[in-house]
């Protein structure tokens, strides 16, 4: 009988990738037992499918499909408004469970992560495969829905493994079996290889991931840039892409977009929505002590066409009242009272560290210093009493009118029901569960 290679050769680095199956819809099924086994779709407030349970996927529902189209293929579909607060809380639990086994966790997105378990076989007295199996079992049991897990010698192969048997799969790709897995996959199925790169590879006569992995290094360096070369190295079993365990520490740009329904031609309401976007974007960049040098303001028509303007600030700023004033000066360049609009948005970019500079002749920097201090107090109030306790008057209409009306106006259960001591703005970090919990 042929023995397996030692783990040190199969997994010189042992990386797992964990992916929540139909995460948003699964969160809803977990918190309400009556929804289990049914075609659940989130995104009702947007009028499209943001996430769908596997029961809905099996009926032909795909992401981005409109509710009217979904009803044709799945008449018994259950549509729910997105409850991002609960999804975020369950995501934090997800990562906390993984960190019981290893501190080296990269929170890749709200529903997936990478974890480095290299060297933990002896302390945990389990093989790498068993560790991955145990983490999956804990997640499935404690969160009430399934996860797909991949184990490999690097991030690229671990991600390939997590996609291998969805939902609720666990696939290990040891070094000595890499070629078998790559032979069964097209290049476009590999994480990091987009449609354009895949189309280029096909023109070169390369269809499978294995054919790509077997190309010579000199050819790779001649044909592709560093990111694609790194994927090629990982497909050959090397550990090239490190885990980002510190998370995001800065941003090159920040964008905030909000859709509302029904569409509107009310100038004051639409500008108020834009003001709200600006406040939210500024809140985020202040959190990272950043200031924006430029911005793009845009509004989305009912025809799904975008109209926008780009502006450059006289100095870097993270003060929403200043940016809103600039947006107001340019708003009529975008707005047409004869059109219907369905969304507004802002992108703050060319971000740099928000530092106080020397005083200038007209005391503009002194004013900026005072405003920065004012918003430090605003942030402290909002942190203590709840997000958006204090906001600009220009955002009042957007914040005090439902984002969606009529059939799309349903609120998530977490917003309708509160625990003792909670208010409209401030909530404790516990998801609301309904139905029977084992």
Segment 143-161 shows an average pLDDT of: 97
Looking at the predicted structure, is the pLDDT value of residue 2 above 70?
Answer: no
Q: What is the pLDDT of residue 420?
A: 56
Cis peptide before 428 (omega within 30 of 0): no
Structure tokens at 128: 């790498």
pLDDT tier at 1, thresholds 50, 70, 90 = very low
Q: Residue 182: left (phi > 0), alpha (psi -120 to 50), or beta?
A: alpha
pLDDT of 434 strictly over 60: no
Domain 253-399 class? alpha beta
Cβ-contact 148, 162 below 8 angstroms: yes
pLDDT at 383: 82
- Structure confidence at residue 435 as a pLDDT band (50, 70, 90): very low
Place of tokens 């998801």: 431
Does position 297 have pLDDT exceeding 80, yes or no? yes
How far is 297 from 133, CA to CA, in rounded Å?
48
Confidence band, pLDDT 50/70/90 cuts, at residue 339: very high
**Tens digits of residue pLDDT in 154-205:** 999 999 999 999 999 999 999 999 999 999 999 999 999 989 999 999 999 9
| C-alpha span between 110 and 96 (Å, rounded) | 13
Q: Which active-site residues does the annotation give?
A: 112
Which range has highest mean pLDDT (331-340, 364-373, 418-427)? 331-340
In the predicted model, what is the mean pLDDT of residues 78-87?
A: 91
Q: What is the pLDDT of residue 438?
A: 39
pLDDT digit string, tens, across residues 98-112: 999 999 999 999 999
pLDDT the model gives residue 140: 97
Please compute the mean of the pLDDT values over residues 393-409 and round it to a whole number. Answer: 75
Torsion of CA 282, 285, 288, 290, to 10 degrees: -110
Q: Where are the domains of the chain?
A: 7-162, 176-235, 253-399
Which pLDDT score, from 0 to 100, does residue 9 have? Answer: 63
On the question of pLDDT at 421 being above 90, the answer is no
pLDDT score of 399 = 84
Answer whether 49's CB lies under 8 Å from 64's CB.
yes
pTM for the full predicted model: 0.81
Query: Tokens 């068993």 map to which residue?
Result: 130
Is 90 exceeded by the pLDDT of residue 10?
A: no
Rg (CA), the chain: 25
Q: How confident is the model at residue 220 (pLDDT cuts 50, 70, 90)?
A: very high
Query: pLDDT, tens digit, for every residue of 15-24?
Result: 999 999 999 9
Alpha helices by DSSP H, 99-188: 121-124, 128-143, 155-162, 178-183
Distance in angstroms (rounded) separating the CA atoms of residues 432 and 412: 10
Q: Domain 7-162 in CATH: superfamily?
A: Reverse transcriptase/Diguanylate cyclase domain (3.30.70.270)
Residue 14, pLDDT > 60, answer: yes
Q: Each residue of 353-378: pLDDT tens digit?
A: 988 666 555 567 677 788 888 888 88
Instruction: List, in order, residues 6 or more apart from 41 with CB less than 8 Å away.
Output: 25, 49, 50, 51, 52, 53, 56, 61, 70, 77, 78, 79, 80
What was the pLDDT predicted at 367? 78
Is it the case that residue 54 has pLDDT exceeding 60? yes
Angle at 20 between CA 244 and CA 438, to 5 degrees: 125
- pLDDT band of residue 388 (cuts 50, 70, 90) is confident
Summarize the confidence of residues 40-68 as an average pLDDT: 93
- Tell which wins on pLDDT, 428 or 336: 336
SS3 of 201-247: the string is: HHHCCCCEHHHHHCCCHHHHHHHCCHHHHHHHHHHCCCCCCCCCCCC
- Give the model's confidence band at 259: pLDDT under 50 very low, under 70 low, under 90 confident, else very high: confident
Check whether 315 has a pLDDT greater than 50: yes
The packing angle between helices 226-235 and 155-162, to 10°, is 70
Mean pLDDT of the region 245-263: 88
- Given a cut of 70, whether residue 213 has pLDDT beyond it is yes
Q: Is the pLDDT of residue 432 over 60?
A: no
Tell me the average pLDDT of the chain. Answer: 89
**The CATH fold of domain 176-235:** DNA polymerase; domain 1 (1.10.150)
pLDDT band at 406 (very low <50, low <70, confident <90, very high): low
């Amino acid at each position: 009988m042929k023995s397996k290679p030692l783990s040190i050769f199969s997994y010189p680095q042992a990386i797992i990738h964990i992916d929540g199956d139909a995460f948003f819809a699964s969160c809803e099924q977990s918190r309400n037992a009556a929804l289990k086994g049914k075609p659940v779709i989130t995104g009702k407030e947007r009028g499209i499918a943001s996430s769908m349970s596997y029961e809905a996927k099996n009926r032909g529902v795909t992401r981005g499909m409109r509710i009217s189209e979904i009803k044709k293929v799945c008449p018994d579909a259950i549509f729910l408004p997105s409850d991002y607060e609960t999804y975020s809380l369950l995501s934090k639990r997800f990562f906390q469970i993984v960190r019981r086994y290893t501190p080296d966790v990269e929170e890749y997105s709200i529903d997936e992560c990478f974890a480095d378990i290299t060297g933990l076989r002896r302390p945990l007295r389990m093989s790498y495969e068993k560790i991955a199996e145990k983490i999956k079992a804990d997640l499935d049991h404690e969160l009430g829905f399934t996860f797909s897990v991949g184990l490999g010698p690097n991030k690229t192969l671990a991600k390939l493994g997590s996609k291998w048997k969805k939902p609720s799969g666990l696939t290990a790709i040891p070094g000595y079996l890499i070629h078998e897995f790559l032979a069964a996959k097209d290049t476009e199925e590999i994480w990091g290889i987009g449609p354009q790169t895949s189309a280029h590879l096909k023109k070169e006569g390369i269809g499978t991931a294995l054919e790509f992995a077997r190309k010579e290094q000199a050819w790779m360096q001649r044909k592709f840039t560093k990111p694609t070369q790194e994927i090629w190295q990982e497909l050959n079993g090397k550990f090239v892409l490190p885990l980002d365990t510190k998370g995001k520490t800065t941003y090159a740009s920040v964008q905030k977009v909000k859709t509302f329904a029904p569409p509107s031609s009310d100038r004051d309401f639409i500008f108020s929505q834009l003001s709200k976007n600006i406040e939210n974007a500024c809140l985020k960049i202040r959190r990272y002590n950043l200031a924006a040098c430029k911005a793009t303001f845009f509004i989305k028509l009912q025809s799904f066409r975008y109209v926008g303007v780009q502006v450059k600030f006289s100095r870097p700023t993270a003060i929403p009242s200043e940016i809103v004033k600039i947006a107001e000066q340019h708003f009529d360049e975008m707005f047409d009272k004869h059109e219907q609009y369905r969304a507004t948005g802002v992108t703050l970019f060319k971000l740099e560290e928000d530092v106080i500079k020397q005083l200038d002749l007209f005391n503009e920097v002194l004013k900026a210093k005072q405003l920065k201090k004012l918003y430090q107090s605003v942030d402290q109030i909002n942190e203590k009493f709840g997000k958006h306790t204090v906001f600009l008057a220009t955002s009042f209409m957007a914040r005090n009118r439902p984002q969606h009306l009529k059939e799309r106006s349903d609120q998530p259960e977490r917003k309708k029901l509160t625990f003792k001591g909670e208010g409209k703005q401030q909530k404790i970090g516990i998801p609301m569960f309904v139905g029977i919990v084992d």
